[in-house]
Amino acid sequence: MFVAAIISVGACKSGIWVAAILAWIVAGIIIGLAIISDYKKAELLKNGTRIIGKVTATKRVHIKFHMSTYHLADEDVIYPYVVHYQYKVKGETYNGKSQWFWFNPCIPKGAPIKILVDPKNPARSTVLKPES
């Protein structure tokens, strides 16, 4: 939204209303997509079916991002862990992966893992916290 505001102020001063309107439309779309994503996550947590899956791997992933134009060594790289798992619903096998873990979750391959599965779309799932 901040970027849209800056672009629209500059556009209004120079009389380019189209740029201002487009900037606000893009910002609205981005916010709308974020809201939809959060809604889907909340629905899964609310209505999901709890089942036990099996860990297939715990991997450290390499994610690169840019915060500025000035870069030093690995300042713009993070290495979180992701747990890959497998589960069955009505005899069909599905695969999933967790959100990022900032520390190694130390879950061995083959270990059981609690997950929530969307009853309407079994391919959608999420890992439950160990204490759940």
The tens digit of pLDDT for each residue in 54-88 reads 999 988 887 776 665 555 555 667 788 889 999 99
User: Please, what is the average pLDDT of the chain?
Assistant: 79
**For range 12-27, the mean pLDDT:** 75
Higher pLDDT, 22 or 76: 22
Q: Residue 101 above 50 pLDDT?
A: yes
The secondary structure of 11-78 as a DSSP string is HHHHT-HHHHHHHHHHHHHHHHHHHHHHHHHHHHHHHPEEEEEEEEEEEE--EE--SSS---TTTTEE
Higher pLDDT, 116 or 6: 116
Q: Residue 132 above 50 pLDDT?
A: no
